[in-house]
Every structure is written in structure tokens, then in C-alpha cells.
Amino acid sequence: MAIIKIDNVDQFNKEIKEGKVLVDFYADWCGPCKMLAPIIEQVAEENPDLKVLEVNVDNVPDLAKEYQVMSIPTLIMFKDGKQTNKAIGLQPKQQLEAFIK
């Protein structure tokens, strides 16, 4: 499944409603975010039942504030609209796979 870029709060709320959703809070200027991006792409490809969203904290600051994203990258896992897990910082692939399970 392709990674979905989030542009606004309404789109975000619609996308997290159903199923397993991994949300990547990032910024274009963030070095660790750039290092994490290919790992997330790989995990997204290998887990077709997982929806992956990208939220640029500079473009959608309201979401970052709502989910208390203080540093990036921050990954938040949702299941059927409910937050189930949160990780901050660069995650190696193995750790990311454990995180989404």
C-alpha cells in the first residue's frame, strides 16, 4: 500500500478510522526523518494490511500538537481510530516491525 501524505486534520481523522495505521510525524529538514523514510517504505510494502500515513509537522501543526509530538520523527500506531503505541526517534527496521505488530 502506498504511503498517504496528510494535508489536514479531517483527512487524518478519516484515514485512521479503520484497521491498523502507522503515522509518521516528520519534517523535510529532519535528518533522522530522512533516514527513517526508506525503512518505513519497506515495512509498508511488506505489510499490505497496514496503512501508512505521513504528517509533515510544519504543514499540519495542529495534529502534532494534538498528539503531543515534541520531537521528530515520532511514530504513532492506531487500530480502528484508537492510539495503541508511540515511538520517538529513528527506529531500525526490526524494531519498527515489532512496533507495528
Catalytic residue IDs: 30, 33
Amino acid at 71: S
Q: Rounded to the nearest 5°, which phi and psi values hold at 40?
A: -65, -40
- Which among 78, 76, 99 has a CA at the least distance from the CA of 24? 76
